[in-house]
Structure 1
Amino acid sequence: MSFLKMINEENATGKLKEIYDKLLGGEGERLANLLKSQSLNPEILESHLKLYKSIMQGKSGLSRQEREMIAVVVAAVNNCHYCLVHHGAALQQLVDEDDKLLFKDLAKAYQKPNQPEQEKQKQLASLTLREKAILDYARKLTVSPANIIKSDIDKLNDIGLNDKDIHDITQVVSYCNYENRIAQGLGVELEER
């Protein structure tokens, strides 16, 4: 499950039990291993949950679908299988029936940086100009954050994104990289379900 000890739902006590009880919706519900991997420090887990809700579900000029698309791209670039599966599943719930393979196309297009441009464009054909610009920025910020320059921001402004939108994109990318590092750094494995 993880390189480190994780406290399961049935063994939680005190503050951790309070957090788990808030998260569990009903009988038989299980928590994601990524959350349980942080069970040794309930305060950090609680802060992580607040950050997740604010960045991924809070009020924003970005749709939930756009945020999950960013999460899929970041996980693909980082080769984080755990987060790719989780955010891929979330994205699938948000898209139309015609777009059910979108997360696989995103993963393929952004996981292989040296693939022919024609192949990448085919995989991304269903994306809007806005989505492509957001995801290209997400990839660059993940791969080479020191190389972000003003013209990268200008490109986003040019397609109609305002400063708050760009700030929110940067927050989502940064949060997803944080999440990937937890999953990979602690050896978090996918749940059996």
Structure 2
Amino acid sequence: MASHLVAKLVRLPVLAQFASLPGREAAATIRRFSSEVPPEKISRYPVPYKKDLPYDIVALMEEVESKGGFLPNVFKVLSHRPAEFRAFFAYYNELMNKETGRLTKADREMIVVATSNHNKCLYCVISHGALHRIYSKNPTLSDQVIVNYEAAELGPRELAMLDFAMAVCRCDTITEQHFKSLEKVGFDREDAWDIAAIAAFFAMSNRLAHLTDMRPNLEFYNMGRMPRDKSKDKTEGKGK
């Protein structure tokens, strides 16, 4: 497939996921606090220079960085293998940015947080915990899920969803009872596939993060923890 076609398949949808990153001003603030910290090694594998990468991958990286104010390290690390990079983000988009089914974006991020925590994946727990805070507008729930989702402030729907995701994550034998538990709270079998596919995909992602020793961006740690100052946005808008 020609690179420009790949770009159309991969480039635009991924921005829906990362457009909620804090923006240049917030990212710059975070960087000011950490400016004296030595640059962190983000992978045990070489991270390619942009000049050595295919055009469509560079274009995607630049657009994500422009929209979010920083480039998540997963893009840099996986660019070590461009063909796999494209395949990874194509499937990622299908799972995490789709508009069909009964899972919200916050639901999807919660599944990633819970299963990645079970798999001991620092990168995915931190980065998707940040995205959950943004989509849910709840600054504490993802932290509760990380510690113990069964004791978190979740309703029956979210508990059933995570129970099913964790059964897939642990490779439990899936039975009809699992599907019935989901159906009781309003999910159907297509939703079950989505929940399972997210758990399965991120099991793979977690293990790639282990392999590469992928490190989370410092920006992720503070994202979504403080309410956005809307009055400041209005003031800035008037000044333009």
TM-score (normalizing by structure 2)? 0.67
Q: 2:158 aligns with which of 122, 131, 135?
A: 131
CA contact (8 A) 2:112 2:128 kept: yes
CA distance in structure 1 between the aligned counterparts of 2:145 and 2:78, rounded to whole angstroms: 29
Larger Cα Rg: Structure 1 or Structure 2?
A: 2
Give CA-to-partner distance per residue, 1:1-29, whole Å, 9 cap, x none. Answer: 212111143x433x2x4212123223995
Runs of 4+ in 1 over 4 A off after TM superposition: 27-30
Q: In the TM superposition, what is the alpha-carbon distance from 1:37 to its structure 2 partner?
A: 1.8
Q: 1:5 aligns with which of 18, 39, 46?
A: 46
RCO comparison, higher one (Cα < 8 Å, 6+): 1
TM-score (normalizing by structure 1)? 0.82
Specify every segment of 5 or more residues in structure 1 that has no aligned partner in the other structure, as ranges.
Answer: 111-119
CA contact (8 A) 1:75 1:176 kept: yes
CA distance in structure 2 between the aligned counterparts of 1:6 and 1:192, rounded to whole angstroms: 18
CA contact (8 A) 2:61 2:75 kept: no
CA distance in structure 1 between the aligned counterparts of 2:79 and 2:62, rounded to whole angstroms: 15
CA contact (8 A) 1:34 1:182 kept: no
Partner of 1:94: 135
Quick check: 1:108 aligned with 2:122? no
Quick check: 1:24 aligned with 2:62? yes
Give CA-to-partner distance per residue, 1:19-71, whole Å, 9 cap, x none. Answer: 12123223995432222222232111011111111100112321101000101
**2:180 is matched by which residue type in structure 1?**
D
Counterparts in 2 of 1:87 and 1:27: CA distance versus 1, 3 Å:
closer
CA distance in structure 1 between the aligned counterparts of 2:141 and 2:218, rounded to whole angstroms: 24
Give CA-to-partner distance per residue, 1:43-102, whole Å, 9 cap, x none. Answer: 110111111111001123211010001011011111111111100100010123xx3100
**1:187 is matched by which residue type in structure 2?**
D
The alignment covers a number of residue pairs equal to 175
**1:64 is matched by which residue type in structure 2?**
K
